[in-house]
A and B are shown apart, each in its own frame.
Chain A
Amino acid sequence: MKNLQRAGLALLAVGLAAVPFVASDTLVQFGINALLVATLTQGWNIIGGFTGYPSFGNSVFYGLGTYGTAIAMAQLHLPFGVGLVAGGVLGVAFALLFGIPILRLRGPYFAIATLGLAAVMSAIVATIGFAGKNIGLILPLFRGDTLFYELSLVLLVAATGTVAWLARSRFGAGLVAIREDEDAAQVMGINTTMYKVGALALAAFFSSLAGGIHAYWITFIDPGSAFDPTLNVRMVIMTLFGGPGTIFGPVLGSFVLSAVSEVLASKVSTVASLFYGFVIVLAVVFMPKGLLDLFQGFRHSGFRYFAQNMRRFRL
């Protein structure tokens, strides 16, 4: 069974890797975005899903990755690889520096502090001349969507692999303990500060690399799009939609929601966002524990799954 699972996953990865060679450019474009968003979602899953810290600052890591890459390429004329590393270093350094004071806060207060950080960073970048102020930076044009796609795929696989490792390691167990009861975890002898900062740094690593790839792909960036707080909201939503604290839930959630909004945007065009809103509202009502839970629960108890859930969560 276990081997069968592994074989299935490997097949899926190979299938996804083959997409740019067989599919249309449109699908590849969609793929790049879906993979990057899935990576971001998986990053959020580490800090939000496993550790239970609802971060609104992951868009900062994404933005720093974006700017690290863009400054290296547009201002210093360094190659893409160097830019990507610079972005990753910036993101992780920021997580380590601000993680310690911020992670002392809990629940909504943590959320609001990270939201504040995101707004501050966006505003600060908009005043730095070297980062192009609020006018933005232009990166060189590169005709290599296959490369962007494969890089994004590698990044997502790495992020998912990391989460899979978390799910079975001591480190991951420590994070879950913090989520369930932080004080108890501390009493049990877990160095909660180190664990939490570690989780945040991991999230920052993947988010900032995703930002770097996106910057080179889109060629023009400005603080508004790089530090977009709604991107962070999307990470949260996609994680919850799929199933927080699971290995594949966030990936599934982001693929499904990306696909839904993309199809709506190109087929029904102007009412797309309305449908998107309704999908989210209905999803919360009918599958409050995410898609994965829905699949399992539905196999168990059929349509009674919905009634059970509703009875449990309504007032």
Chain B
Amino acid sequence: MRRTMMVLAIAAVAACKRAPEQGGQITASQITLGASVQLTGRLANTGRYYGDGYAMAVERINEKGGVSVGGKQLKLALKILDNQSDVNLGVRQCTQLLTQDKVNFLLGPFSSNDALDQSSVAEKYQVPMVQGGGASSQIFSRNYKYIFGTLPPADDYYASTIKMLMKMDPKPKTVALVAADDSFDVSVANGTRKLLKEAGLDLVVDKQYRENNSDFSSILSLAKSSDPDILLWSGHEAEALNFIRQAKSLGMSPKLMYAFTVGVPTADFRKALGKDAEYAFGMTPWLPSKDLKDDYFGDAAVFAKEYQQRFGYAPDYHAASAIADVEVYAKAIAAAGSLEPAKVRDAVAKVDFGSLYGKVKFQPNGQISLPQTVIQIQKGEVVEIFAEDFLGKPRYPLPPWAKR
């Protein structure tokens, strides 16, 4: 027993001694970006967009010659660790990336809660983290200096939808709001309540449910009995699937339309629901449009095609946001002409460029501001409906389930 303890102690000391050498693979000829993302575990389904997006962006930027720093062309390198959807492991891996693997800068994980935890490591070590996976306002309300986000603020998710509703015929009057109780969805719900009030819409059902809930029958029956014109929903993709399937089986259908914060733009969602996905409204800050020009990929449409070919599934805004994160570093490092974290941080705060994701420019709190485009699933395709004005023809009002 004692001998074992001694061996352990010796092994521990030996491990300490060796640690500093392990960063040896990074040379001055490259810039290493590190990230701890969810490649397995509960959040793997969305986490993969970040792993794949980062890898593709780094590769492409290198093909175009890398990043010019003070007259020298440097290649990008990428170190991705899988945190198995474990928040604690993610935090430790960020420390490992910074101190042992000696990465220069950090990219982010998926989801607001993970970004909240991981970004405090970046702040602790005063190394920038540009993340494209957390939208909750909590992340940017802490006065941290080193965290930047490329997802638009959660509070405004339904802004464009409500604007569209005011121009619809017949005009809606009553609204049901159903939202999960986690950080992101509470932000959405709070923002939406304010927007509804300003628009003069009447909130007849306002229900919050427990995260990871799988049974919506009570909420649906309640909503059915108050028969609202509109149903606005905010939560996670798995819950959205259950909600819509149970809505169908209980014959619940709002009179005019329903909309969801997540799911609608992803291919997975349409595949899982099949015909039942029809008519669902959603939103996305990004669509694979030819008009979004990009220095590295040409434009967003070309990118979407290449991404689909390479990974076998279509990109959505998560993937595009991940690409933008890497491009932010390419631009900022070139502008700073240095690899010093503090200088790059200041350069990140000042970036302003057009990308396949859209115009990338951070607000003083570190978060990007992008309008949400309203989309709808029509005949199995995602169709753009409304941004500042109508872009496509909405299928409206929503027919009841029996008549679809």
Residues in A lying within 8 Å of B, measured CB to CB: 4-5, 8-9, 11-12, 15-16, 19, 22-27, 29-30, 33, 123, 126, 133-136, 138, 141, 143, 218-220, 222, 224-225, 248, 252, 255, 262, 265-266, 269-270, 272-273, 292, 295
Contacts and interface: CB of A to CB of B under 8 A. Distances in A.
B138 A135 contact: yes
30 contacts: A8-B2, A9-B2, A12-B5, A12-B6, A15-B12, A16-B9, A19-B12, A22-B16, A24-B100, A26-B19, A26-B95, A26-B96, A26-B100, A133-B181, A133-B186, A134-B182, A134-B183, A136-B138, A141-B142, A218-B120, A219-B120, A220-B113, A222-B113, A248-B5, A265-B93, A266-B81, A269-B39, A270-B40, A273-B41, A295-B4
Contact of B210 (A29, A123, A141, A273): A123
Given A126-B181, A218-B117, A272-B84, A24 B20 contact: yes
A218 B9 contact: no
Given A26-B100, A33-B92, A273 B84 contact: yes
Contacts of A8: 2, 5-6
Contact of B16 (A4, A19, A219): A19
Contact of B92 (A12, A29, A134): A29
Give the interface residue-count category, chain B.
35 or more
B88 interface: yes
> Interface majority SS on B: helix, strand, loop or mixed?
helix
Interface of B: 1-2, 4-6, 8-9, 12-13, 15-17, 19-20, 39-41, 80-84, 87-89, 91-93, 95-96, 98-100, 113, 116-117, 120, 123-124, 138, 142, 144, 181-183, 186, 210-211
B113 to A, nearest CB: 6
B117 A220 contact: yes
A237 B40 CA distance: 22
A51 B139 CA distance: 44
Given A135-B183, A225-B113, A273-B40, 19 more contacts: A11-B6, A12-B6, A12-B8, A12-B9, A23-B12, A26-B92, A134-B181, A134-B183, A134-B210, A135-B182, A135-B186, A220-B117, A224-B113, A224-B211, A225-B87, A252-B5, A265-B82, A269-B39, A272-B84
Nearest to A269: B82
Nearest to A292: B1
